[in-house]
Chains A and B, each alone.
Chain A
Amino acid sequence: MLIHEQSQAGRRATAQAPKVKADLAGIPAHLRRDDVPGLPEVSEMQAVRHYTRLSQKNFSIDTEFYPLGSCTMKYNPRACNSLALLPGLVDRHPHAPDTHSQGFLACMYELQEMLKEVTGMKAVSLQPAAGAQGEFAGMAMIRAYHDSRNDDARTEVLVPDAAHGTNPATAVMCGYKVKEIPTRKDGDVDLEALKAAVGPQTAGIMLTNPSTLGVFERRIKEIARIVHEAGGLLYYDGANLNAILGKVRPGDMGFDVIHMNLHKTFSTPHGGGGPGAGPVGVSERLIPYLPVPMAGFDGSRYHWITEDDHPETIGRLTAFAGNAGVLIRAYVYARMLGREGMVRVSEYSTLNANYLMKKLEEAGFQLAFPGRRATHEFIVTLKKEAKEMGCNAMDFAKRLLDYGMHAPTTYFPLLVPECFLIEPTETEAPDALDGFVAAMRSIREEAQTNPELVKGAPHSLPVRRLDDVRAARELDLRWQASS
Chain B
Amino acid sequence: MSNVPSDLKYTKSHEWVRDEGDGIVTVGITDHAQELLGDLVFVELPEVGASLDAGGDCAVVESVKAASDVYAPVGGEVLEINEELVDAPETINSDAYGDGWMFKLKLSDAGELGALLGAEAYAEHAENDDH
Answer whether residue B22 sits at the interface, using C-beta atoms and an 8 A cutoff: no
In the complex the two chains form, is B131's CB within 8 Å of A183's CB? Answer: yes
In the complex the two chains form, is B130's CB within 8 Å of A469's CB? Answer: no
| Least CB separation from B129: chain A residue | A417
Contact with A along B87-131 (1 / 0, CB 8 A): 000100000000000000000000000000000000000000011
B44 to chain A, nearest CB (A): 14
Answer whether residue A472 sits at the interface, using C-beta atoms and an 8 A cutoff: yes
Answer whether residue A193 sits at the interface, using C-beta atoms and an 8 A cutoff: no
Contact with B along A387-426 (1 / 0, CB 8 A): 0000000100000000000000011101111000000000
The B-contacting residues of A in range 246-269, CB under 8 angstroms, are none
In angstroms, Cα B131 to Cα A381, docked, is 11
B61 to chain A, nearest CB (A): 12
In the complex the two chains form, is A416's CB within 8 Å of B64's CB? Answer: no
Q: Interface size for chain A: under 10, 10 to 19, 20 to 34, or 35 or more residues?
A: 10 to 19
Among the stretches B35-43, B45-53, B76-84, the one at the interface with A is B35-43
Contact with B along A183-216 (1 / 0, CB 8 A): 1010000000000000000000000000000000
In angstroms, Cα B68 to Cα A165, docked, is 11
A396 to chain B, nearest CB (A): 14
Chain A contacts of B68 at CB under 8 A? Answer: 414
| Least CB separation from B1: chain A residue | A387
Q: Interface size for chain B: under 10, 10 to 19, 20 to 34, or 35 or more residues?
A: 10 to 19
B76 to chain A, nearest CB (A): 23
In the complex the two chains form, is B130's CB within 8 Å of A417's CB? Answer: yes
Chain A contacts of B42 at CB under 8 A? Answer: 472-473
In angstroms, Cα B68 to Cα A286, docked, is 34
In the complex the two chains form, is B131's CB within 8 Å of A415's CB? Answer: yes
A410 to chain B, nearest CB (A): 8
In the complex the two chains form, is B36's CB within 8 Å of A417's CB? Answer: yes
Chain A contacts of B64 at CB under 8 A? Answer: 468-469, 472
Answer whether residue B66 sits at the interface, using C-beta atoms and an 8 A cutoff: yes
Given contacts A469-B39, A473-B42, whether A414 and B130 have CB atoms under 8 Å apart is: no
In the complex the two chains form, is B39's CB within 8 Å of A468's CB? Answer: yes
In the complex the two chains form, is A411's CB within 8 Å of B66's CB? Answer: yes
Given contacts A415-B131, A417-B130, whether A473 and B41 have CB atoms under 8 Å apart is: yes
Given contacts A411-B66, A414-B66, A417-B36, whether A469 and B41 have CB atoms under 8 Å apart is: yes
A: residues with CB less than 8 A from B are 165, 183, 185, 368, 381, 383, 394, 410-412, 414-417, 468-469, 472-473
B: residues with CB less than 8 A from A are 36, 38-39, 41-42, 62, 64-68, 90, 130-131
Q: A185-B130, A414-B65, A472-B41 are in contact. List 5 more A-B contacts (CB 8 A).
A: A165-B67, A383-B130, A411-B38, A416-B130, A469-B41
